[in-house]
Structure 1
Amino acid sequence: MTRKKALVVRGGWEGHQPVRATELFLPFLRDNGYDVRIEESTDVYADATAMADTDLVVQCVTMSEIKPDQLSGLRAAVEAGTGLTGWHGGIADSFRASSDYLQLVGGQFATHPGKEPCERRGDETDNFLPHTVEVTGLGREHPITAGVRDFELCTEQYWVLHDDLIDVLATTTHPVRPWHPWDRPVTSPAVWTRRWGAGRIVVTTPGHSLDVLEHTDVRTIIERGMLWATRTA
């Protein structure tokens, strides 16, 4: 049996612990028949031969910058059938200055609302809010989220700007609070898929810290997303 080839690309802002976070999923990939290559930068995206030989890209690169030839290589690979997936800022808050990357993944982190000002302590927990991830009707039938029920988290709740080419498997709603300026609840996609040419993309927005990635439902969604996004042709 031919083994599949996964490329794990990690780096960017260290606050999301790209090395430790991606290491959580390496055993799953290997146990499911993937040969895994790890790269600590996006330089590999410009290597057309390597990308053509890749069935799945797992990206964990928050913020950072990407060079035009690297982005062109990633887009071309996905269009030709290479899968792309990731979680949280490693895919939804990558390469903020690149509109072409934003178009590829279909959604971009805008903010994560914070606690009431009087409760803030000046650390990352200022943005940890209890919220629900709700599986959509499509999500209840999709292989990535089938059987997953709505679940609760207390972590960063991503507010995402997105387009209509995504298929939303789960959402989360930002309520109206006295200290926030919006005047009605705002629902954002929390898990979505996207078809781009022959390629499949999966974005999972929960995953700020290792404990969230180890949450049973979050981990299930990410792992199933890896399998689903993998090249099918």
Structure 2
Amino acid sequence: MTQKKALVVRGGWEGHQPVEATELFLPFLRGNGYAVRVEESTDVYADAAEMAGTDLVVQCVTMSEITPEQLAGLSSAVTAGTGFTGWHGGIADSFRASSDYLHLVGGQFATHPGKEPCERRGEAEDNFLPHTVDITELGREHPVTAGIEDFELHTEQYWVLHDDLVDVLATTTHPTRPWHPWHRPVRSPAIWTRHWGAGRVVVTTPGHSLDVLQHPAVRTVIERGMLWATRTASAS
């Protein structure tokens, strides 16, 4: 059997600890038989030969910029069957200036509502709220989330703008609060998949910090997502 090849691309905003976060998952990939290449920039996306031989891309690049050539390389690879996955801002808040990237991923970070203004101290924790991640009916049957029950987190709660081509495996609901301008609760996708050409995309929005990534449910979803997104035999 040919060994699967995983490409881990990390960088961007350091607040999401791209090196430390991705290092958490390298043993899992190697333990599941992947040959792993790690890159500290998106330059590799423009290498057509390398991307054609890659079965899975794990991206952790928050914000930052991507060139048209790099994005074309990534998009072409996914369309041809390369899997694409990641968590939190490393995939859902990447390359804000690129509408084509948004189109590939299917959802984009909009905000993470914060605490009551009088409770804020100018720190990251100002945006940490207790919330529930609710597994959908589809999610209860999908290989990425099957058997996982609804779970609680106390961290950033992503509000995501998305389209109808995503298959939502879990949601989270933003309640109304007197200091917020919206007038009814808003349900946002928290975990989703997307079929793009012959490729599979998996996005997990929890993952702001290492402790969240090590939450049993979050880690399980991310690891299963890597396996599920990997190029299938029919896409080879």
| TM-score interval for Structure 1 and Structure 2 normalised by the shorter chain | over 0.9
- Structure-2 residue corresponding to 1:162: 162
CA drift of 1:2 comes to 1.7
CA drift of 1:146 comes to 0.2
Is 2:20 the counterpart of 1:20?
Answer: yes
Q: Distance in 2 between matches of 1:158 and 1:134?
A: 14
Matches within 5 A, 1:142-161: 142-161=142-161
Matches within 5 A, 1:214-233: 214-233=214-233
C-alpha RMSD of the superposition: 0.4
Secondary structure at the counterpart of residue 208 of structure 1: coil
Q: Distance in 1 between matches of 2:2 and 2:75?
A: 25
Matches within 5 A, 1:201-212: 201-212=201-212
- Structure-2 residue corresponding to 1:131: 131
Unaligned runs of 5+ in 1: none
Amino acid corresponding to residue 198 of structure 2 in structure 1: A
Give CA-to-partner distance per residue, 1:149-184, whole Å, 9 cap, x none. 000000000000000000000000000011111000
Secondary structure at the counterpart of residue 94 of structure 2: coil
- Structure-2 residue corresponding to 1:10: 10
Secondary structure at the counterpart of residue 132 of structure 2: strand
Give CA-to-partner distance per residue, 1:43-102, whole Å, 9 cap, x none. 000000000000000000000000000000000000000000000000000000000000
- Structure-1 residue corresponding to 2:98: 98
CA drift of 1:147 comes to 0.2
Q: Distance in 2 between matches of 1:217 and 1:28?
A: 15
Q: Percent identity?
A: 84
TM-score by length of 2: 0.98
The ranges of structure 1 where at least 4 consecutive aligned residues each deviate by more than 2 angstroms after the TM superposition are none
Amino acid corresponding to residue 22 of structure 1 in structure 2: T
- Structure-2 residue corresponding to 1:35: 35
Q: Distance in 2 between matches of 1:73 and 1:3?
A: 22
Unaligned runs of 5+ in 2: none
Amino acid corresponding to residue 222 of structure 1 in structure 2: I
Q: Distance in 2 between matches of 1:33 and 1:55?
A: 12
Give CA-to-partner distance per residue, 1:165-223, whole Å, 9 cap, x none. 00000000000011111000000000000000000000000000000000000000000
Amino acid corresponding to residue 125 of structure 2 in structure 1: T
Q: Distance in 2 between matches of 1:37 and 1:93?
A: 23
Secondary structure at the counterpart of residue 85 of structure 2: strand
Is 2:215 the counterpart of 1:177?
Answer: no
TM-score by length of 1: 1.00
- Structure-1 residue corresponding to 2:76: 76
* Length, aligned pairs only: 233
- Structure-1 residue corresponding to 2:198: 198
Secondary structure at the counterpart of residue 10 of structure 2: strand
Q: Distance in 2 between matches of 1:2 and 1:175?
A: 48
CA drift of 1:3 comes to 1.1
Amino acid corresponding to residue 154 of structure 1 in structure 2: H
